[in-house]
Amino acid sequence: MFKDIIQKLYETQNITDDEIKLLIDLPESEAAPLREAALKRRREYYGNDVFIRGLIEFSNYCKNNCYYCGIRAGNTQVERYHLTKDQILQCCDTGYTLGFRTFVLQGGEDLSYSDDDICDIVSSIKKAYPDCAVTLSIGEKSKETYQAYFDAGATRYLLRHETATPDHYAHLHPESMSLENRKQCLWNLKSIGFQVGAGFMVGSPGQTLDCLVADLRFLQELSPDMIGIGPFIPHAQTPFAHEPQGSLLRTLNLLSILRLMFPYVLLPSTTALGTIDPIGRELGLEAGANVVMPNLSPVDVRKFYALYDNKICMGDEAAQCIRCLGMRVKCVGFRIVEDIGNVRRSV
Ligand code: SF4
């Protein structure tokens, strides 16, 4: 029965809600055909290429208080930092030498950077590295602000929707935040012309199978270029400190489902996956992922950007990181490419 559902998903990129639920909870003993179908699809679109994104965590200040996040405003125990433009450019310089052609500027919703500051940072990176893409991942902004970022040269934006179910959204976020606004931001980004990334945590507190189905249906509506998913991992200084972490198997099943539902999509094998299992990122690639995001942030600030506990690669210099990842990627039959790594919507 599972094989028929997988074949239907492979051929039509769609299955019913009940069939999705069956595949999400596919036992490991039955998962091989799902992995094989996802791999076949990923090879049709991306061969054995794995794109690398240089992640620069440039600020851990945030005005928000998401209940799952280690750098939420309410966490008074975290040491806060933000990088200067020169420090960010230094990270890009290191990354460029190592073969990175995409830089992802990620941070909390830090009010100390004005829109002009962000635009200046983006345009300075584009000026210094015109053959590179700049991705922003700095949260919810007005449409005008997004437009200004785009005009300054940022062409990609990551904003996980986290959950497409309103009650679940309210369980994960304070009242000041709304799913409606989060979705509107994603639509605004799309209409401006950004390559957009959405996504969610697997196993976040209160998440049901129905929530996950709603997430996939929302993604079908949005048709993003990138989809970031990773297991929920609790952080000790959050209200969810004692919640169980998300399951490796469920995350891998969802990666394979996403690859089959969105054959073209840029799908990272996340650091969170590598945190819950020593070979989690390799398993993610084997499940259909085609992107890895090594950290280019200065080593001395990395420990302060802990969205969850026990995050890996905190002490590795960027060069060590990319060497290690290169070997891991090679071990499972793929290769890291020096490429801007645009989405391939068709084969
Ligand atoms: S998840 Fe993002 S917006 Fe929410 S508190 Fe953390 S950094 Fe801020």
Say whether pLDDT at 77 is over 80: yes
- Closest by CA to 241, choosing from 309, 173, 303, is 309
Average pLDDT over residues 79-99: 96
Residue among 58, 62, 201 to mutate when testing ligand 1 (max atoms within 8 A of CB): 62
| Interval between CA 124 and ligand 1 midpoint (Å) | 26
| pLDDT for the residue 9 | 98
CB distance 293 to 52 below 8 Å: yes
pTM equals 0.97
Neighbours of 45 (CB within 10 A): 18
| pLDDT for the residue 29 | 96
Domains and CATH numbers, the chain: 2-337 (3.20.20.70)
Say whether pLDDT at 228 is over 80: yes
Residue 119 CB partners (closer than 8 Å, separation 6+): 148, 149, 151, 152
| pLDDT for the residue 65 | 97
> How far is 73 from 62, CA to CA, in rounded Å?
6
Say whether pLDDT at 318 is over 90: no
Q: Residue 251 carries which DSSP code? A: H
Residue among 63, 64, 157 to mutate when testing ligand 1 (max atoms within 8 A of CB): 64
Q: Is the CB of 52 under 6 A from ligand 1?
A: no
Nearest CA, atom 7, ligand 1: 108
Q: Is the CB of 140 under 6 A from ligand 1?
A: no
Q: Residue 246 carries which DSSP code? A: P
> 106 is written with which tokens?
């990620």
> How far is 319 from 327, CA to CA, in rounded Å?
13
Summarised one tens digit per residue, pLDDT across range 147-184 is: 999 999 999 999 999 999 999 999 999 999 999 999 99
| Interval between CA 107 and ligand 1 midpoint (Å) | 8
Q: At 312, is the pLDDT very low, low, confident or very high (cuts 50, 70, 90)? A: confident
Summarised one tens digit per residue, pLDDT across range 111-152 is: 999 999 999 999 999 999 999 999 999 999 999 999 999 999
CB distance 103 to 130 below 8 Å: no
- Closest by CA to 169, choosing from 140, 143, 136, 148, is 140
pLDDT > 90 in the chain, percent: 91
Residue among 66, 68, 161, 169 to mutate when testing ligand 1 (max atoms within 8 A of CB): 66
| Interval between CA 72 and ligand 1 midpoint (Å) | 6
Say whether pLDDT at 315 is over 80: no
Q: Is the CB of 237 under 6 A from ligand 1?
A: no
Q: At 296, is the pLDDT very low, low, confident or very high (cuts 50, 70, 90)? A: very high
> 22 is written with which tokens?
């069956």
